[in-house]
Amino acid sequence: MPATPLPPLLQGRRVRLRPFTAADITDTYLAWLNDPEVVRYSNQRFVRHTRESCERYFASFDGPAGSANLFVSLRVAKPDASERGEIPVGTLTAYRSLPHGTADVGILLGERAVWGQGIGLEAWRLLTDWLLTTPGLRKLTAGTLACNRAMLTVAERSGMQREGVRRAQEMIDGVPTDIVQFARFAQPAAAVAADAVQSQSLIADASVSSASSASSTSSASSAAPANGRACAAPAAEPAHVA
């Protein structure tokens, strides 16, 4: 089954989502990607972006390899009510795996003037709610650094559940930092819970079998403690995705 394309427009109360186009690669967009505060919690902070690098990234969403994925322009009405039109304030992405029925979602809220106003949360809900209505999509995922409090809030308030932690996965200001993984399922919670119980039963059976086998070759085992830690967030951390 082919991937469902993003509609020409998804309209929220304050936000509008539409497919990102080549015309959206502007000086403003480049400035977001090269702003250290905007990309503070993103691996984009290690890259100096140019118009050419942005054009290559945009092209990756075309063709057989990228056609299932979505690159979305996030827009709001102009702040001056007397002016018509809208302005771009960020982007969202959804990397879909059609065979597995999953989509990994991300957001960049580039325009600092809208930080802390709930724009990111509204846009996130609008896109993820729509994704979960598309045929074949059964699960959404997202991950963020443990010190990115704004993104943690967006994930939790949009109905995603914490699914796991990758301990000390990335470095922030010289500190090994956890990545928190989130998920949201399209099917009812009761069905997910039933599947989880069945999975745990299978894991338990496998563990018993493995332990019985191992007992003939080893009389002791040891476990290393998890050494991941969340980085300390700055006192005035911007809510740049909320």
Domain ranges of the chain: 10-200
Instruction: Give the pLDDT of the chain (242 residues) as one tens digit per residue.
Output: 688 999 999 999 999 999 999 999 999 999 999 999 999 999 999 999 999 999 999 999 987 766 899 999 999 998 776 667 899 999 999 999 999 999 999 999 999 999 999 999 999 999 999 999 999 999 999 999 999 999 999 999 999 999 999 999 999 999 999 999 999 999 866 456 656 666 676 666 655 555 554 444 433 333 333 333 334 333 333 334 44
Paired strand residues for 170: 177
pLDDT score, position 206: 59
- Cβ(186)–Cβ(137) under 8 Å? yes
Listed residue (122, 195, 132) closest to 153, CA to CA: 122
Q: Which residues contact 226 (CB under 8 A, 6 or more apart)?
A: 167
Provide the 10 A C-beta neighbour count for residue 58: 16
Name the pairing type of β-strands 15-19 and 70-77.
Answer: antiparallel
pLDDT score, position 187: 87
* Per-residue DSSP letter, 205: H
pLDDT score, position 194: 54
pLDDT score, position 134: 96
What distance in Å separates the CA atoms of residue 102 and residue 41, rounded to the nearest whole number? 24
pTM: 0.79
pLDDT score, position 78: 86
Q: Which CATH number among 3.40.50.300, 3.40.630.30, 1.20.120.1780, 3.40.50.970 corresponds to the domain 10-200?
A: 3.40.630.30
- Cβ(182)–Cβ(143) under 8 Å? yes
- Cβ(165)–Cβ(176) under 8 Å? no
Q: Using CB atoms within 10 A of its CB, is residue 35 exposed (0-12), middle (13-18) or buried (19+)?
A: middle
